Amino acid sequence: MKASTSILAASLALAAVAAHANGEEPTVRLPQPHYEPVTEDPAWLRFAAQFHGHLGPWAAAGTRLGAAAREAADAPGYFNLEVTCLGPFEAPPRSCLLDGVQVATGATWGKRNLHWQPADRIAVRLRNTRSGKTVVVRPTERLLALLGSFEPRAKSASGVPATKADNRNENTQGHTEDHQHSEVNGHDHTHAHDHGHDHTHAHDHGHDHTHAHDHGHDERHRHTSDDGTTADDQTALLESIARRIALLPDDEILSVEEVRP
């Protein structure tokens, strides 16, 4: 069995080399993110932006929380951990945190070792499946304030832009720390949304909309909101907040707690 597997692997490798020599290598084009890196951006932030599609605060926060949890649990990543994200992640921009956690931990929906449990307060629980060590990472008030400093102008079901008060009410997390601990230390409940996809909304993320014109040229439209800001202004603000989250020390944006059996 071992010999036949080695022969098969060698045959596939030779076939790949022959295909490359004959110019038959398939062309795979990955999507390009809405993101222009700057010199100060760390490599992990660039990777997160490539994965997520743009540089956003919630994805940056998820990457920081996930990385802290993985390191605290002494888990190399990808296959030797179980991750549960707790929080109000029904829709973007808050659900973008899940993308950051995937980048930082290597846990994914496809491997079924990343889960989402609806909760009023945000936490990332990670268990090292080899050692059993389990940690919970929570955002600090400062991180929550940074995440709440941008209020996307989403549309209501009737098509009318939501007010700042509407958005503020949606972002409110009103339960006590005791309630949070009972959620985090309880059993995992894999939610049906695990099977769902992350739908990125242009209004949530401040993306530019590029429209093709009759002459075959793409022209970037600068949509102006009620307060006079354009899509470019909102994108610049989002990226500024994300970079602040990326560069702040751990103890300013998160707390880590080991969960005892």
> Residue 229: its pLDDT value, please?
72
What mean pLDDT do residues 226-252 have? 90
From the list 127, 134, 137, 135, the residue with the least C-alpha distance to 80 is: 127
What mean pLDDT do residues 91-108 have? 97
Q: Which residues have C-beta within 8 Å of that of residue 113, sequence separation ≥ 6?
A: 79, 81, 82, 83, 107
Which of 76-85, 151-160, 165-174, 191-200 holds the top average pLDDT?
Answer: 76-85
Residue 130 tokens, joined:
């080899």
Question: How far is Cα of residue 76 from the mean position of the Cα atoms in its chain?
Answer: 19
> Residue 114: its pLDDT value, please?
98
> Residue 17: its pLDDT value, please?
60
Is residue 4 very low, low, confident or very high in pLDDT (cuts 50, 70, 90)? Answer: low
> Residue 194: its pLDDT value, please?
44
- Residue 194's CB is within 10 A of a number of other CB atoms, namely 13
Question: How far is Cα of residue 5 from the mean position of the Cα atoms in its chain?
Answer: 38
Phi-psi label, residue 77: left if phi above 0, alpha if psi -120 to 50, beta otherwise: left
> Residue 25: its pLDDT value, please?
83
Is residue 168 very low, low, confident or very high in pLDDT (cuts 50, 70, 90)? Answer: very low
CA distance 67 to 105: 6
> Residue 150: its pLDDT value, please?
81
> Residue 5: its pLDDT value, please?
56
Which of 85-89, 156-160, 208-212 holds the top average pLDDT?
Answer: 85-89
Higher-pLDDT residue of 233, 167: 233
> Residue 1: its pLDDT value, please?
52
pLDDT in tens, 108-162: 999 999 999 999 999 999 999 999 999 999 999 999 999 999 866 554 343 333 3
> Residue 102: its pLDDT value, please?
98
Residue 175 tokens, joined:
């339960």
Average pLDDT along the chain: 77
For the chain, the three-class secondary structure string (H helix, E strand, C coil) is CHHHHHHHHHHHHHHHHHHHHCCCCCCCCCCCCECCCCCCCCHHHHHHHHHHCECCHHHHHHHHHHHHHHHHCCCCCCCCEEEEEEECCCCCCHHHHHHHHHHHHCCCCCCCCEEEEECCCCEEEEEECCCCCEEEEEECHHHHHHHCCCCCCCECCCCCECCHHHHHHHCCCCCCHHHHHHHHCCCCCCCHHHHCCCCCCHHHHCCCEEEECCCCCEEEECCECCCCCEHHHHHHHHHHHHHHHHHCCHHHHEEEEEECC
Q: Is residue 198 within 8 Å of 58, Cβ to Cβ?
A: no
> Residue 6: its pLDDT value, please?
61
Higher-pLDDT residue of 4, 256: 256
pLDDT score of 183 more than 70: no
What mean pLDDT do residues 213-235 have? 59
> Residue 160: its pLDDT value, please?
31
What mean pLDDT do residues 55-84 have? 97
